[in-house]
Amino acid sequence: MSEPTKATPKPFERDDIELVKLFLSQYKDSDGNFFNVTARPDTVERKEKAIEAIAQDKHGHRLAIEHTLLQPFEGKMADDVPFTTVFERLRKDESLLLPDRFIDVLVPTFAIPTGVKWEEVGVKVYEWFKNARQSFPLDGESEHSIPSLGFELKVLVQTMKIPGTKGVVVGGRVLPANKPFIDVLQKALGDKVPKLVATPAEKHILLLEDNGVAIGFVKVTTGIDTSVDALPDLKKVSEVWIAHTMGWKTSGDVLFVRIWRGSVTERFWIKDERFSDKKPASEK
């Protein structure tokens, strides 16, 4: 895979349809055909539930696509400050990148306690990551306990090969244990899948957006597999993809991964030029 596709769609609409357009700018079917948006049912059928987009290839084959955001957890705003203070430096420091590697550090929500100096914790986490990153699996998941913090902090590291790139490092959060991820996933599936498969089309794609608060690709795939009996309409869904968007509005990076049916399969990375040069005011 070469450097990420550079996408500059215009004008900018809602986040959900923009993400769909980014996806379709690189997506191809098994015969190598691209698709372009030809209809926006959700803007026409305002009183009824309708999907985000219908697209067609050059042969007139229809593709129905529906987006849903895997919802954040209660108390997210209170957890944002310690999480960002400790982990955001990993994403910002390009010296930590490993060529051809995507590394996602997933942290339990509310794992960083009050009463500790978050900046100091961040320095120790940074040193741990700098020294440990070469030992992570090339493609898979691994659990780690970060040492010398004065409290227990276990993280899940998810890695993936993205050949031909300079690498990506991001951080995300795992939903609270008392709000099982399967509950969040099944609610999203129950809301979105029926209207998706009811839309006339040769292919139906569900696009799940993970903005950094959900869980790893493997667990999402397993969750979908275990939901088929409760939601038979899932059998009519052609493909399920995850859009990893934590860096979208800051660096322009969006990673799309096909996760179902089966395990993680296809993947592509897009650089959205509208955000690729965006920097915090403090860095300008």
What are the residues whose beta carbons fall under 8 Å from the beta carbon of 198, sequence distance 6 or more? none
For residue 200, the one-letter residue type is P
- Kindly report the three-state secondary structure assignment for every residue of 153-206: CEEEEEEEECCCCCCEEEEEEECCCCCCHHHHHHHHHHHHHHHHHCCCCCEEEE
* H/E run at residue 34: none
pTM: 0.72
Partners of 109 in the beta sheet? none
Q: Render each residue's pLDDT in the chain as its tens digit; 284 residues.
A: 455 666 655 677 889 999 999 999 999 998 999 999 999 998 876 656 789 999 999 999 999 999 998 876 777 778 889 999 999 999 889 999 999 999 999 999 899 999 999 999 999 999 999 999 999 999 999 999 999 999 999 999 999 888 888 898 988 888 777 777 788 788 889 999 999 999 999 999 999 998 866 566 777 888 899 999 999 999 999 999 999 888 888 888 899 999 998 777 788 989 898 887 554 333 33
Token digits of residue 117:
């100096």
Helix (H/G/I), strand (E/B), else coil: 144: strand
Identify whether the C-beta of residue 174 lies closer than 8 Å to the C-beta of residue 108.
yes
What pLDDT, on the 0 to 100 scale, is given for residue 218?
78
CA angle 224/206/234 to nearest 5° reads: 45
**In whole angstroms, what is the distance from residue 229 CA to residue 269 CA?**
33
**In whole angstroms, what is the distance from residue 236 CA to residue 197 CA?**
6
What pLDDT, on the 0 to 100 scale, is given for residue 165?
86
Q: Pinpoint the residues of the chain covered by CATH 3.40.1350.
A: 5-71+178-283
- What does DSSP say about strands 53-56 and 62-69: parallel, antiparallel, or unpaired? antiparallel
What are the residues whose beta carbons fall under 8 Å from the beta carbon of 269, sequence distance 6 or more? 1, 4, 5, 102, 162, 165, 168, 253, 254, 255, 256
Could you give the maximum distance between any two Cα atoms of the chain, in Å?
62
Identify whether the C-beta of residue 74 lies closer than 8 Å to the C-beta of residue 125.
no
Looking at the domain that runs over 5-71+178-283, which CATH code has it been given? Answer: 3.40.1350
What pLDDT, on the 0 to 100 scale, is given for residue 112?
94
Token digits of residue 103:
């590394």
What pLDDT, on the 0 to 100 scale, is given for residue 215?
61
Listed residue (92, 99, 136) closest to 246, CA to CA: 92
